[in-house]
Structure 1
Amino acid sequence: MSIYVKDGILHVAGAQDKLRQKGQEKPDFLTNYTMLDIETTGLSPYRDRITELGAVKVRNNQIVDQYTNLVKFPGNNRVPAFITKLNGITEEQIINEGIPAEQAIKEFREFIGDDIIIGYNVNFDLNFLYDLSQKYGLPITNNNYVDVLRLARAYYPRQHNRLIDCMQRAGIAQVEQHHGLADSLDTIKVYNDFNRHFTEDLLEKARGKIKNVDLTGDDVDYTQLGFRNPIQNKRIVLSGHLHLNEADAGKMITNMGGQSDNNVMANTNYLIMGDHDFFQHDDENLEKARALIKDGAKIKRLSESFFLGMLDDWARS
């Protein structure tokens, strides 16, 4: 096995250092943990920023401490209008009330400590926290974690499972606040509601949904690929100086329902480039992609690290 998922974690021979070394998901009902939620300017930790951090420390099922702060970055603190409409956070608030990002992530990392982290769709939060911790030279956020969304999918199969959906079904609240601390407190209520109603069979069902699959094998268990497979029906070209083995990557793409091509065409979906190849002028595929994009092609150019991060997010979903 050269590219595989074990216990929800992606492993890639030759390129493991390109991946965030986050902890392992372990669905369970705990009495000691830190529940957290963050607000951001968008969905991508590569181009978006944290605007608010919120967390609650729980011991013996009792809240013993809380953390909340707006986060101010040097330079740009613009907040998209749709985000302000969602949660009310404005650029002015961040500038006037926020604390510097380096201070915020240091305090937040210390608040979490070695706790198991719990959150709703928490891998999203962990990506932002991991990158910001790494930026300021802090210990990486590699705590093991529980994703309440995983529990929701087991308890409410074949239904929409946003946090607000679970809150409304359990009679907790009709409106989600979209603020870090408030959503952390609401997620504790949802988590406790699941704890009261879950059976051991349901918990095992949730654990059984964590992926384990050899992506370069000859006999892929397609049920493990799920409905959020980012490669399904995609035409992909690998180019430039890559750390992953291109033959293995090609087999993985085929096994995941995509098509690996040698050359960029107008119907190419992804051009995967080495992390330092984006500004090269001697790569034929990159030059061809640039020309096709000018003519209206919808080719997405992705760095190797971004592509592997996308696969790791899928592996953990």
Structure 2
Amino acid sequence: MSIVVKNGVLQVPGAQDKLRHKGAERPEFLDDYTLIDIETTGLSPYRNRVTELGGIKVRNGEIVDQYSHLVAYEKSNKVPAFITKLNGITEEKIINEGVPVDEAIHDFRNFIGDDVIIGYNVNFDLNFVYDLAKKYKLPELSNDYVDVLRLARAYYPHERHNRLIDCMQRAGIAQVEQHRGLDDSIDTKKVYEDFRQNFTDDLLANAQSKVKNLDLTAGQLEAWQLGFRNPVNSKNIAFSGHIHMDENDAAKMINNMGGDYQDNVEATTNYLIMGDHDFFRRNNPDWNEAKDLNKNGAEIKRLSESFFLNMLDNWARS
């Protein structure tokens, strides 16, 4: 069986349970949806925390409800200084005004419901919200979604940057981005509506065509198919321990995506992909070998199978 990307979703036989079961991307213009924007302490849902959950519920193109709360945790509410400088969210503000994380994610998940989700670079937000919902045993966030960034890239194909603030300024919506959940949700809706007014059928078809559909094991893929966010490109990758995906297919995928599959850990290895349980073993011989090589100048990173596959899924959805 092949490892494929279908409608932007990575499909890996034997290891699908390692992936977040998010919905599919649907580049289109809707009248009814929930638009979300979150703030975090950093870029990784594995290492960083959500500091604010924000969103608006839209019916017939009009905002009918909104959600906006800072999120408080029991152990730590520290916020990096550069984040505070960006959006004004501080540890003190979270402690004084924040809603306990279990209550916040419960209410936010209910707020979203079964709606199609809209957001700007929304896969980032979905990863954090998905993981929080899963942690607190809430309904899986498998809603389909619209990424306004995808529409922006189709509308401004020759621009180097298509950030939310870029689109806001080009459309005359605002000159400054607030970097707060509710404010950015409202601004994203304004950008979405601007695109709705100005998109042609050809532009929408172009945006829809950019959602990836690829067989990653069939043969060498072209650079234009893989894009510049390809996480495997020019990487030497080895596997260790009990891997759930078929290793022969995984090897084909890596080679077809411009990487190099290695049978063993070597000084040139970039990623050592380990079975999820093996990742925590202290006596894993491959990781011990990698650590020795690192002491002598190698730069081998250890990744769990789940982390690696979700990294690929994020690329598939980009």
Q: Residues of 1 paired with 2:271 and 2:304: CA distance?
A: 10
Q: Residues of 1 paired with 2:194 and 2:315: CA distance?
A: 27
Counterparts of 1:1-317 in structure 2, within 5 Å, are 1-159=1-159, 160-218=161-219, 220=221, 222-317=223-318
Q: Against the structure 1 CA distance between its residues 73 and 296, is the aligned structure 2 distance closer, same or farther, given a 3 Å change threshold?
A: farther
Q: Residues of 1 paired with 2:291 and 2:170: CA distance?
A: 49
Counterpart residue type for residue 31 of structure 1: D
Q: Is the 8 A contact 2:220 2:255 kept in 1?
A: no
Q: Residues of 2 paired with 1:198 and 1:25: CA distance?
A: 18
Report the 3-state secondary structure (helix = DSSP H, G, I; strand = E; otherwise coil) of the residue aligned with 1:126.
helix
Moved over 4 A (4+): none
Q: Residues of 2 paired with 1:88 and 1:30: CA distance?
A: 32
Q: Residues of 2 paired with 1:313 and 1:267: CA distance?
A: 25
Aligned-residue offset at 1:280: 2.2
Q: Against the structure 1 CA distance between its residues 76 and 297, is the aligned structure 2 distance closer, same or farther, given a 3 Å change threshold?
A: farther
Could you tell me which runs of 5 or more consecutive residues in structure 1 were left unpaired when the two chains were aligned: none
Aligned-residue offset at 1:221: 5.4
Q: Residues of 1 paired with 2:168 and 2:280: CA distance?
A: 47
Counterpart residue type for residue 259 of structure 1: D
Counterpart residue type for residue 40 of structure 1: T
- Of residues 143-152 and 224-233 in structure 1, the stretch that sits farther from structure 2 once superposed is 224-233
- TM-score normalized by the length of structure 2: 0.97
Could you tell me which runs of 5 or more consecutive residues in structure 2 were left unpaired when the two chains were aligned: none
Q: Is the 8 A contact 2:220 2:257 kept in 1?
A: no
Report the 3-state secondary structure (helix = DSSP H, G, I; strand = E; otherwise coil) of the residue aligned with 1:264.
coil
Aligned-residue offset at 1:266: 2.5
Q: Residues of 2 paired with 1:54 and 1:44: CA distance?
A: 19
- Of residues 288-297 and 254-263 in structure 1, the stretch that sits farther from structure 2 once superposed is 288-297
Counterpart residue type for residue 119 of structure 1: G
Counterpart residue type for residue 277 of structure 2: H
Q: Give the superposed CA RMSD.
A: 1.2
Q: Residues of 2 paired with 1:106 and 1:71: CA distance?
A: 12
